[in-house]
Structure 1
Amino acid sequence: MLFLSCISIFPTGRANAQTSVKPYYISGYAQGTTYNITYYSKDSLVAKQEIERILDGIDSSLSVYKPYSLINRFNDFNCKQVAMDKHLGIVMRKSLEIYKQSGGLFDITVYPLTRAWGFGNKQVKVYPDSAAVKRMLACVGSDQLSIRGNQLIKKTPCVQIDVDGIAQGYSVDVVADFLDSRNIQDYLVEIGGEIRAKGRRQPENASFAIGIEGPAKNADDEPILQRIVRIDQGGLTSSGNYRKYFKSGNKIMSHLMDPRTGYPLQNELIAVTVKAKDAMTADGYDNFLMALGLQKALQFLKQHKELAAYFIYHKPDGTVSDISSAGFYPFEAASH
């Protein structure tokens, strides 16, 4: 996603002088955010230019901020269908899978709502009234999308898509797969706070330690460290509403849209961090779990053992608390 996630990376472990591998670091700016790659090898195996070519290629397909992108071609009202490239095809199929799994709560067709509420690439001075929201809802719903071969088709011309809720996790996976292709066994890839790890930190041979941030007590303060978890395989992503929002009276209006109502999402959840087999899966499900609310999210995770999550939420008295699903405990326990 193109918002600041609540994950940061920490070194850990003790050095082992007998190994000859050393860390290599690549960092830069892409997709509207920063990226950081750490891998361990005897020699330099990856160039920064290679990483940036990969990320630029993904943007050319998936970014709504690039006028020439494939996704913007599809979003044109005069376009009924488009031939998908590899990136759009993978992300669309995963998005429609999660849409069905989530009962419609994860929906990439909320793009008109996102822009109308001021969370797109243009500022708005007037927020939509109920009549405007109702009109936009006629254009919302991934059931209005279909895939035939490599063709992405929309039933209604006004349907527009934004895959920011899953594309950054996908980008992490593409970079990680590229490192795999170079036979790199130990690495951590982070783009905008979304993470995928493989192997262990070398030469210490220790799991990667990752800090999860939570909201500060005062709006002007820096976020606070809530948890440190350790992983050596898979994706870890976060979704939250404490960094990107606006106030309407006494209400905090989240950048996350509720596709059922057409209004910004509102429930007790502040942030959720999801652990999954890969970053794209984690990235798609973190938004869905945010939309579910705490109790329904925990119930969902009991039925889906392949996912684990950590939640930060407001209690009824307004205080902040946190809780983990059963599957998330092993990653926390390893950090003590």
Structure 2
Amino acid sequence: MGLSLLTSSDTWFIDGNFRLASEYFKQLFVFRVRKNSFFITVVYCILECKTQYTYEHLFRTVMNECEKREKYPDPVFLNMDFELAVMNAAKLILSSHTTIRGCFYHLYQSTYRKLQELGLSKRYKKDEASRKFCTMVDSLNFFPLDDVKNGMERIKKNIPTGAEDFIIYFDTTSVNEPFKEISTNKSNIRLRRIPPVFPPCTWNVHQTTVSNDDSNRHRTNNNVTEGWNNRFSHLIGIKNPKVWHLIRKLKYEIASNYAKLALDDVGETNMKTTKLGQMRTTEIKLKELCARFVSGKINTSDFLNSISHNIRKQSNN
């Protein structure tokens, strides 16, 4: 059942959870896909490591198991966390035309973790202006790819005192090409631009936002994988459970998936209409703002402010 759904889906959502891993293992790694009105976990993997080699073996094993059953998955989109080892492994094993997309929610999380690392988290929580500025950085996700650097330059003109290191970090890892020193000897030092670790093409969601293709609408793993992580964590009941306890709960989860599929076959849905309505409203607003920016009806500053407002409003819901 799981591999059949994986094969029939052109968009995969993958995620690793370290708290759900059983003892002696590093993480529980899952593949999720959309089935009509809901998402379902189709592959569960208990991994010992988080190296690129481990992820290569994981992807290769999944593809091989599909082929054994005469199934040939060929995903168009792969949504994931900003984990370089996973991205590199996916590029090596999956089809060259598979578009790898970093999750907007995880980018949002990673920027906040950097704020914590720089000692700015308290200021972010207490100061509305600082919080708005940081959300404007996240708003770069919604710029057309060719305009991301222009948006970054606009943000640089209004950096709050103390946030300089944060902007340098985001700019060099996710937007502009940083310089790398190349030297053959002390008297011959040259600088060369190198690609950022996570270039805009891996995290930009502009095209996804304006797309009319409903299957291409999901910019984030938050509702797709994080929601499942929270629910399954509650089902497990403890952190880093014994392996047999984890397997027993996974069997319960698989049984629940069969029930969801049975309900779906007769036209039932488990998506709350109120939540779906809230999501749709935000989607429409963001899509309209992107269209207005592309048509020149709003400038860069107004676009940053408007997107930032909607992001903060959504995160507070």
The answer to which structure has the higher strand fraction is: 1
Larger radius of gyration: 2
TM-score (norm 2): 0.27
